[in-house]
Structure formats: structure tokens, C-alpha cells
Amino acid sequence: MTAETEAPCGQHRRGSRSVEGHDVPSAEHARIRLAQCSPLHVRESCLAGGLSQQDLEALDRLTFSRRRAHLGEPLYEAGQAFGQLYAVGSGTFKSCVTLADGRQQVTGFHLPGELLGLDGVGTGTYASGAIALEDSEVCVIPYANLRDASSAGAEVQGAIARLMSREIVRAHSLMLMLGSMNAEERLAAFLLSFSSRMKARGFSPTEFHLRMSREEIGSFLGMKLETVSRTFSSLVQKRLLDVNKRHVRIVDLQQLQSALAR
Amino acid sequence: MTAETEAPCGQHRRGSRSVEGHDVPSAEHARIRLAQCSPLHVRESCLAGGLSQQDLEALDRLTFSRRRAHLGEPLYEAGQAFGQLYAVGSGTFKSCVTLADGRQQVTGFHLPGELLGLDGVGTGTYASGAIALEDSEVCVIPYANLRDASSAGAEVQGAIARLMSREIVRAHSLMLMLGSMNAEERLAAFLLSFSSRMKARGFSPTEFHLRMSREEIGSFLGMKLETVSRTFSSLVQKRLLDVNKRHVRIVDLQQLQSALAR
DNA sequence: CGTAAGTTTGACAGCGGTCAATCCTCGTGG
DNA sequence: CCACGAGGATTGACCGCTGTCAAACTTACG
């Protein structure tokens, strides 16, 4: 239906092995608590950063459902009424903002344990959309529950504030990257960030599979897909990486880090 | 003392008509409530956006002091322990982040009514620094006071959450700008944003004085100061602006807006 | 096997960075 | 009061990075 453009934020059409018939992804809302929702990831990564055991237990009590999103499906879309936050349980998401004239940009990639939807709190409307980059699962956290002063509300409010603040810091450092780095530095920064996030989740920090296309990486890094591809090739030539399509192996992590300091 | 670099985040050395002898800007902490702290600006601008009357009164009760900062003086610096938020009462500030290798970037300019320091909530350390671009005044809001569940804490917590969320949205749209606009579009976007913020504060939206240098604008927009200057000249040539150093008059606001949609 | 999407690579051009000279403003000191 | 110097702004010349256009290759799915 939607007139598909050449944008990096579109939904995928080729549904992979998605079973189809799932046009409305808001289907099942099983009552499953955060603690059962891939607890290891959620607790030991971004979400847990700075949260006390008490915070986590409070959060657990406020989480009431989970939801699945297949590859290419939106979890929510920009402009939609804000109602809940989502904690990635498994899989990967990208979030995208759109300019008035249609230009779009990927503002982030989200791994298990990270929180989505915080940009909706301010206005009551999601400012960005989130789309699954593979078949994924999230925990749904109704925001109204957080506002209830009841049930350790204050603790959780503080935790949410910390998470938001970190998102601000992250966005600012991305601004720095977009404003002052060349193509090679941007890609190196992206890969190193990805590497440390994989490591934090118990995966290999030097070998991983990217779930996003060259175009999506380019959109995130503020460069064209051809430049992304060329820069990958350049880093391979310099013996810092092995790359085969979306499979990446970091050969020389030391040098990749020093590629940032130019 | 500090080895001054060529960065856009440095403190100014030429103290203008500053009286001197004010090396420690944390001096006087008069007990003045937010309501007395340029209330018109604070209430009718960013801070007030989305806040109820109740929120504002709650905030008032938590504000205990104000502080002055002369041109070039830091309000706080990156890495410093986080303790309070600052509401700009009068004047202008810039905030800056620094990369490991010393590169810096201006992440925002702040007008009366806007809140500074939210990036410190997450880690307990300010991730950016804030420097006065003219002699300015702020309201000091100890963050600990906000966390106290006492005295309508929940209301204020929600208000702070909304403000943080808006800052996230703002940062994301800046990322979009840095990633996908050319020099002219960036400058136009900057001027239009500045214009509407001036208008919101009761100033002329078409004629104003910029408190920041070309280098600082460039740092914020991800371009070099020469390019900023050239782009100003280009917009003058196109009859969209009148520019004399830092004094700007928007001649054709319509066309300036359409310069964004390319 | 054919088509579509994604990736890679090449050729070329243009925007913006770099280096440099000049001008302007303002504060300081002779 | 004027000369001088420093910092900021403007403008020009040049060039390199990255965008643009295009073609070839790979992979997956119908």
C-alpha cells in the first residue's frame, strides 16, 4: 500500500521466512514478566546500567506483556501515539526519524537489553519509528505504570531518568561523530561500538553478523552506501578487518581503535 | 593556566567588561526561587513546554539559588561530578562535548528558559561542559531535591522525564541535519530554529544578534568557520538575509524555509 | 532459471576543507 | 589621540573526500 521510497527506513518487502498473515504485529500480549523476558540480556546490558537490584525488581513488577516483530515489521511508527516503552528481548531493531521533505535517517541500532520509545515521553507521540532487522521479541512496558507513584514508582522514575540521560549522551557523541569524523573514522567507531556491545552480551567482540544493510549503516553514519562499501574494502586492504557481506571479523582491534585518533 | 587550544569550546580570554576577580564563579548562592528567576522566560519557553501549572509550582519549590556566569566562564565542565541542573534565567550558553583525541563539538546553544545539565543524570558526571556566551544568570536546581519523593516529587519527576525526552528528540533531529543536509540547509535550519526560539521569548523573529562566533556555529553545524562565513554571504547574495558580523536580519523567511526542502 | 535486492567497484565531478591574505573591530599602550 | 596588535570575519585559490552515476557480480526467492 504505502508508496515505498528509496529510504533506509522502509519496511522490508521480502518477508524472509516470516509466516505471513501477521500484518498487525500487535497481536498476542502474553502476560510475561521482564524477568522471564530474556532476563540475562536485559539485566546485564544497557538497561541494567546504573540500575540497582531494587530498580530491576521494580521494573519487573511493571512489565506485563511481550510482543514479537518479524523482519521488517515496525514496532511503532513516527507520529503514532505514545503509550509504552519496549525493552528488546531478542533480535535487533533500528530506529528512524523523518524530515518534512521525506529525507530519513537511522538514529540507532538496538540490541537485546536496550530500551526503545523514550522519545515519545516528551510529546506523547513517538518522534521516531522502530523496525525489526530480524525476527525479534520485546517486552512491553506501559508508561502509565511507571507514572503511578504506587509500587516503588519513585525508584523506577529515577532509573528511567538515568536511561534517558544516557540516551542524550549517546546522541551527543553521535553528533560529534557526524560533525567531525571522516568516513573511515565513522565506520571504525561504529564497528568498535558494535563490538563492545556484542561483548557485553556475551558474544564474540571480534566476529559478528551485521543485521543491517550498507544503506542503513550509511544512513546512520551520515554517508552513502557506496562510501560504506568502499570504506569496508579499504579497512580490509589495511588488514584491520575481514568482511564477507554482512559477516565481519575484526583482525586488528588495536589498530582499528587507533584509526579513531587519526 | 589551561593550555588553550584552537577549539570552539574554549573559554574566552578577553573578558570584555567583566569586572575581573571572579575566577570562582560558584560564588553567591542567594536563595531565590525559580518564580523570581526571570519567570516569564522560564515559564513560557522550553522548560514550560508540556509542563502543567502544577509541575511549575512543584519546580518552584525545589529551586534554591541562582548563579551568575560572565562571558567565557564555564557553568560546569565535562567530567565534573553531577549535582544540579541549571535553568537559564538570562543570557546564552553553549554546551560542548570532547572526544578522546581532543576534538570538540558544540552540541547546543541555550537560551533563557532552557535546562542545562541533563546529561549528567545517567552517570553522575557531566558528559559535556557549558560555557556562557555573554554575562548570564541561571537558576540552580539541586537534583537530589528532585529525587526526594517528598513535596510533589512524582509530578516533577514526570516533568523532568518529558524534558529529557525532548532533548533526545532534539538531538536526533540534529543528527538528521548533520547526516543529510548540505551547508546551506544546515545554516538555514540553524537560523530558522534560532528565529522561532527568539520569537517564543518575545523577541523579533527576523532580526537578532548572535552571541556565538562563526567557529562555534560551524562546530555546532559540523562545518568549518570559513564555510559558515561563505554560506552567510551566499544567503545574503540571494536576498534571504542581511548580515553584519553577528547581527542577522531575515529578509525572506518564506524562502529561507523553502531552502530546507531543497 | 529469471528477477529483484544487495554489494562491490570504477569514473568523474562538486562541495566543502585547507591554506592564506585581507579587512574590520576593539582594547591597549605609547 | 593615534598607533599597534589580537581576534574575528571575509574572500580567494586549490584540492581531496565523498556523492553521483553506472555497470558487474552475488545471493535469495519465486
pLDDT, tens digit (0-9, with 9 covering 90-100), for A124-161: 999 999 999 999 999 898 888 777 654 555 667 788 88
Element counts in chain B: helices (H) and strands (E)? 8, 11
Which residues 71-130 of chain A have a CB within 8 Å of chain B? 97, 99-101, 103-105, 107, 118-123, 127-128
pLDDT, tens digit (0-9, with 9 covering 90-100), for B36-66: 454 444 444 444 445 556 655 666 666 668 8
Residue A126 pairs in a beta bridge with none
Residues across chain B:
262
DSSP string, A165-218: HHHHHHHHHHHHHHHH--HHHHHHHHHHHHHHHHHHTTS-SSEEE--S-HHHHH
In the predicted model, what is the mean pLDDT of residues A228-244? 96
- What residues of chain B lie within 8 A of the CB of A162, using their CB? 121-122
Residue A71 has pLDDT above 90, yes or no: yes
- Superfamily assignment of B34-176 in CATH? Jelly Rolls (2.60.120.10)
Domains B34-176 and B182-258 share a fold: no
Average pLDDT over chain A, rounded to an integer? 81
Q: How far apart are CA B39 and CA B44, in angstroms?
A: 8
pLDDT, tens digit (0-9, with 9 covering 90-100), for B222-243: 999 999 999 999 999 999 999 9
Question: Which one of A3-12, B89-98, B147-156 scores highest in mean pLDDT?
Answer: B89-98
Asked if A69 contacts A138 with a C-beta cutoff of 8 angstroms, the reply is: yes
Helix (H) / strand (E) element for B54: namely helix B53-62
pLDDT band at B181 (very low <50, low <70, confident <90, very high): very high
Helix axes B53-62, B153-180, angle to 10 degrees: 100
Report chain A's terminal Cα–Cα distance, integer Å.
47
pLDDT of the residue at B19: 34
pLDDT of the residue at A146: 75
Residue B110 has pLDDT above 60, yes or no: yes
**Residue A171 C-alpha from the chain's centroid:** 13
Which is higher by pLDDT, B59 or A48?
Answer: B59
Which CATH number applies to B182-258: 3.10.20.30, 1.10.10.10, 3.40.350.10, 3.30.70.3280?
1.10.10.10
Neighbours of B149 (CB within 10 A): 14
pLDDT of the residue at B156: 73
| Cβ of residue B13 lies below 7 Å from strand D | yes
In chain A, where are the structural domains located? Answer: 34-176, 182-258
CA distance B239 to chain A (A): 23
Q: How far apart are CA A231 and CA B46, in angstroms?
A: 41
